[in-house]
Chain A
Amino acid sequence: MDQLLIAQGIGKSFHLRPVLTDVTFSLAAGQITYLIGRNGCGKTTLLKILAGVMRPEAGIASLNGRAMFGLGGSWRREMVYLGHRPIMYQAFTARENIRLAVQLRGQTWDESQFRELARQYGLGGREDDRIGIYSEGMLKRLGLIRLEMSSWSLAYLDEPGSALDVDGSLILRETFDRWRSQGRSILFTSHDMGWGAAVADRAIMLSGGTVSEDLAAPEEAHLVDLLKEAAK
């Protein structure tokens, strides 16, 4: 498989406490990778570094052959990021937020696509509501619409299933399958080990600031054992 993302020796510390020391791994095109680890092991930090939200103190990375972390942001055209929070403006409506995100990526706005996606994701009729009144689950759905409206090769998703109801979780799983079939890659975190193991092609575990395990076709029981082992 072609390597889409290559990260070597990523390091980051907060207040002199190292969180990531030497994270090295690669992601292949069309691969869904589940990032696991105990609380505070640096999963969110790693996703934020790879998305360009945080600057690493050490290491290099490339996305589709383009060097990351330097001046210029053309490499960010290849990726999207959905954090714990929806990274949107709460005074804006759903439509305004998605439109801004699309505009910032230099893409053209497709109103009919937006309407169709809003209907599919259960937000039909709420497009012109300010998102400040949206529930957590609705914000997650809106975040997924943002990803659907954007062109990208790699998505970093931090707890994409949290706050989603059963219907939302099913939609998310279908969306993951569709993105995989389109050759897109995903690196995601989730505290729902069963859900994560079911949708992922691969799991990597962060522990002690490095990638401690790299598993193909992960199974929930094995992942739980690994986390229990790391907790000792």
Chain B
Amino acid sequence: MNFWAILMKDLRMELRTRESLAVMTVFALAVILLFSFAFDIGMNRFPSFVPGLMWLTYFFTAVLGLIRSFGWEKELDAWDILLTSPVDRSMIYLGKCAAFFIFLLLAQLISLPFFMLFLGLPLLAAPLSFIAILLTVDGAIAAVGVLIAGMSHRTPAGETLLPILLFPTLTPVLIAATKATTTALASKPFQEWDFWLMLIVTFLVLFVLAGAFIFDYIAEQ
């Protein structure tokens, strides 16, 4: 019940302001455009560095989205309405994770065709594999991102602190995502990239469980 209330609150807020999605999408598209000029990919076969560029782009896209998503909570001290309500705080965490997961996925759905078009990312080579990687990586980014943003957003240097803390924490996921995407899109068998997918899934499960458990402590000042 409270999970849905918090999820719907964030979705309604985005529908009303269109701030998160606009910032995330515009950033991703600008980076793709820049990269397309920087790397003369042309009609080359799948350049192996593109998945790395893609996940780095989506990391920074996620940072921008998280800053905006928690910016709503800072205005008029709105976060306190969640904290002072008789809501299990794990539901606050999970609700915000779910909302952010949706925002990130939407930003990717808009920008991924441009990765295909301008940077030669062969998404159609292994679409199901790519969807599995995309969903698990986005879940992990949301799980870690909301946990760290929930901790940092009330500190004076919260917006600076977020990427500083988030990048090292997410580095294993970004490496695994890059390796899994590169291998899967090269149409290699699942056995060659299942380790990386399992690593991402493990990270996702661990952080969702840890976040749901410790959010009660970190949500307060």
Contact = CB atoms under 8 A, between A and B. Distances in A.
Interface of A: 48, 51-55, 71-77, 79-81, 83-92, 96, 100-101, 103-106, 131, 139
A77 B17 CA distance: 31
B81 A101 contact: yes
B80 A55 contact: no
Interface in B9-23: 9, 12-13, 16-17
Interface of B: 1-2, 5, 9, 12-13, 16-17, 72, 75-89, 216-217, 220-221
A91 B220 contact: no
A68 B171 CA distance: 38
Nearest to B217: A55
A83 to B, nearest CB: 6
Given A100-B9, A104-B2, A92 B88 contact: no
Given A52-B220, A96-B12, A101 B85 contact: yes
A100 B2 CA distance: 10
Contacts of A75: 86
A91 B217 contact: no
Contact of B80 (A53, A71, A96): A53
Given A54-B220, A55-B220, A100-B9, A83 B16 contact: no
Given A53-B80, A91-B13, 16 more contacts: A52-B83, A53-B83, A53-B220, A54-B220, A55-B221, A76-B86, A80-B84, A87-B80, A90-B76, A100-B5, A100-B9, A101-B81, A103-B5, A104-B81, A105-B85, A106-B86
Contacts of A54: 220-221
A81 B81 CA distance: 8
Contacts of A79: 84
17 contacts: A48-B80, A48-B221, A71-B216, A74-B86, A87-B78, A87-B80, A89-B9, A89-B13, A89-B76, A90-B78, A91-B16, A92-B13, A100-B5, A103-B5, A104-B81, A105-B86, A106-B2
B84 A91 contact: no
A88 B217 CA distance: 22
A83 B86 contact: no
Given A89-B78, A96-B12, A103-B5, A73 B87 contact: yes
A88 B73 CA distance: 8
Nearest to B10: A89
Contacts of B16: 91-92
A79 B83 CA distance: 12
Most interface-central of B1, B13, B81 (chain A CB within 10 A): B81
Nearest to A70: B216
Q: Which 9 A-B pairs have the closest CB atoms?
A: A104-B85, A77-B86, A87-B80, A76-B86, A85-B77, A55-B220, A81-B84, A54-B221, A87-B81
Given A55-B217, A91-B17, A100-B9, A73 B86 contact: yes
A165 B85 CA distance: 29
